[in-house]
Structure 1
Amino acid sequence: MAWFYLLIAGICEIGWVIGLKISQEASTRLLGVVLAIVFIGLSGFLLWLAQREIPIGVSYAVWTSIGAAGAFLVGILFFGETASLGRYLGVLLIIAGVVTLKLAR
């Protein structure tokens, strides 16, 4: 169950970053800030639950990696951010690092 909590915590990590992005526009500022606060609180709580069984270094690395890779993809798919081979390679390296942490248990 801890890995499930960690996965959902990482997805919520993406949610608060989206909330901050949405808050950049005056017309959606309040909605974005509220989304960011809700998702960061939920993300932190789920990370706390996951850390009861998963070591802190591994759980934090996985949590931030899901958030970073997810925010990267959301930025490209929904916010028109530029994509390049180097950026994709960087995200793949992040994912490879997390997989290595999981396998090295």
Structure 2
Amino acid sequence: MGQTREALAPDDVVPADLGRYIRTIDELDFQSFDFSDRVVANAWAIDGGAWQHILFSADVPNVFLVIVVNGRSNDVHGHYVLDLNSHYGIGSDPTL
């Protein structure tokens, strides 16, 4: 079976210290995007909550800082920038 995914309300995100983690991220990892508002756009529980993917909005639409959290230990596993504009070219066509 594949992984199951369930949308979470921002209040259901595990209590990892995400703010502290974000402050430790090297500026180069942000790829010149601004995530300083720290707005949770989406959060997903994977495999029954074993993992959580928390997406923070950037200052540009369709760009997110994704933080991966171990839902059982509440430890941050890592992060990456998800830039849907460049990945799918959706920012280049205003009709999309």
- Please tell me the TM-score bracket, short chain as reference: under 0.3
More strand by share: 2
- Give TM-score, length-normalised by structure 1: 0.25
RCO higher in 1 or 2 (8 Å CA, sep ≥ 6)? 1
